[in-house]
Structure 1
Amino acid sequence: MSALLETPHGRDQHDLVAAHAVPDSLLLLDKEERAALERWARGEAGSRSRDAMLKEAQSVGLGIERAERLCQRLLQEGWISRREELKGGNWLWKTIAWRDLRRLQGLLGITHAEQRKQARQAMLEQAWQWLHERGNVQQTLLDPDLLDELTLALKALEEDKSLRADVLEARLGLLRALAAWHDSGQQGLRRNFALYARDLTKSLSASEWRWLDALFDLERLNIASFAQVGWLSGDLVFSWQGRRLELAPLHCIGLPLDDLLVADALTAPRQWWLIENRTSFELQARQRQAGVALLWMPGRPSSAWLATVSHLLQLAPAPAWISADADPAGVDIACTVGSRWEQAGLAWEPYQMGLAQWQSTTQRWPLNAHDRRLLGVLLARPSLPASLRPLCEAMQTEGRKAEQEAWL
């Protein structure tokens, strides 16, 4: 048995410590002993009380007698000093103090606060570097709204100092998976994204889905909770192998995109009208003009939605009005959707989203950095519709944007 040195503290207390230095290796431990020691050594406290240590030992299946023996071994091995108190003629230990907590934590594989801080900082720096490199890709190849969402999500993770390292690592992984899903043109249900991100359809927890929902427009990124739907209104008659569906009696209706893609006939309207804002769409649907078919344009549309629009144009070719927000993203969306009409050899024009509407509104939403970058890309396009160029130039000059719900 190792010799112990005694240091008196008054008449009824003393400290005991091994005469030799702190060891370089860990004593042999069984499963429960190691679990208890990991509990005891976790954190930054330089000393621990007997009551707390015995309670923690019991929580991992180590009884009081075995915990006492483990503490005695730690004393004799040189890992701790022990404060004891004389009561009823017996010396009872009350607290222990670690002689080299950092060394013990290292041998147990426990990271201390400074290590965790450094690891957290390294993860965040790598993530910011990744996002910066991704943002340098040609702007037109990326969803600019996703770049903003990724930036906000990364800022939120950086500001949440209470987040555990494993949770931070998992959420950073989800950001990368979300970006890769978008960049590779994936689309599907949530279970498909979970399989893509982590190889299991139920691998994302409810809290992780809530976190993603709070920061990202998952539907726009082709991650649907349910089957994607196209909302329409007008005197339209669809046909599927002779089975007909008339829309005229209805205010509006949502039909699964998969079903719209296999429709084999559709009466052609005089004019298509695509509206971005859902409230504006429903309002105009209630007062639609004869011969005008309305289609809700869900923000930055998914590839599945765009493919459905192309199919509808094959069945029912007609020119289009496109109404989006008077902001850089709205202009970009209008041009993206309008290109489907161009591919079909049909005319389209921006409608109620020009300079006049922007000037008349009392909205004064300031442009952000992404808006300004996107404006530069839009103004550099020779194909930018002539009616939208003055709007883009005015937004760039005055630094503000507006939403169509204010006037439509």
Structure 2
Amino acid sequence: MGPLTPEQRRRRWLALAVVAVAYILSFFQRFAPAGIAQDLAATFQTSAASLGVLAATYFYIYTLMQIPTGILADTLGPRRILALGGLVGGIGSLLFGFAPSLDLALAGRTLVGLGVSVTFIAMLKLIAVWFEESRFATMVGICMLVGNLGSVLAGAPLSAMAQATGWRGVFIGVGGLSLVLAALCWLIVRDAPGTGQSAPRPRFDRTVVLSGLLAVLRNRSTWPAALVNTGMSGAFFTFAGLWATPYLMQVHGMARAVAANHLSLWFGGFAVGCLFIGGLSDRLGRRKPVMIAVSHVYVAIWLVLLSCATMPLPLSYALFALLGLSTAGFSLTWACAKEVNPPLLSGMSTSIANMGGFLCAAIMQPVVGWIMDLGWQGEMVGGARVYDLATWQHGVLAATLCAVLGAAASWRIRETRCRNIWQAN
């Protein structure tokens, strides 16, 4: 990439700022159901299983779109897919906010998942094209930190906004913002630095795409990273995405605001951890020991949550902050998968590693809801179901087993010493 003009430098930062805000919204939409789970249950008079399906629709479509999005980013270009994604996600959020029934709410969440599923990959494409290769990892880390503000907003701030304006008003407002961002992406984002000619886009041969995909899938070194991602991020998305706030309120008797603060600490710890753990791994020149250590700390904290033991509030806050830091360990799985596959297939290898957690959440959110419904004794408070301690332990156990899967798979990670070792395969 040649040197950019001052105007091009200004444009790339402006474009990245717009895309970063869209990325914040995608994180917010991912975790928002947890902050308003009680409100949704009361509004739609729904069971835990149905609530799980409502939250999981985002993850179903997000999982399906992982690999197609990588191809779309290279063929249509990030500008087009970001604008289209913002439009679809905005319409979905508006539909969700206005939905009079659970069915329409499900349709809205599906459109939200479809719309925001393109943001992360398109952002990576923009960084790769507009920024120097030596700055790629740093820029991705910064963007992930910024994006995670959306998950923090889905904790205590969302709970406060929902109580002030109603949960519907929040999602109607977010839908409107998504539409504005879609327009800004179209007006500001460009697929490549201007050269007086339109940037050429690769044209994909279906056979080449499929053969590359099969090569990554057949590589046995790909799978440990994918399984660590599946277990660690699957447990995170499943519980933090829906069940954490009701768990803290019903098991530990916390006020809604205090429970939401715990959720924000989890998300905030995750945001910081994404930068810290990746940097630690790079400085040590090792992937596997860091992955093993972090994943086992993660399991230990899940065992504490499973025990439902009471603890002083400061200790509880500290535990959730540490939970956030250890959750960020799964961000290493993208590097672990990329570094054992051909560099030209880095997009596919990271997409495959990334799919596991979303697929796990898509399956496990309704499963946890089904487990909760099996143990429900019929108690209702404010139109929402209340579950006893044993039932909550059964639900948390399902997520804990996912975390155990991730820790077990970490022992099979292939050490790359932070460089691509595919030629050594």
Query: TM-score band, normalised by the shorter chain?
Result: under 0.3
Structure number having the greater strand percentage:
1
Q: TM-score of the superposition, structure 1-length normalised?
A: 0.20
Higher-Rg member (1/2)? 1
Structure number having the greater helix percentage:
2
Q: TM-score of the superposition, structure 2-length normalised?
A: 0.19
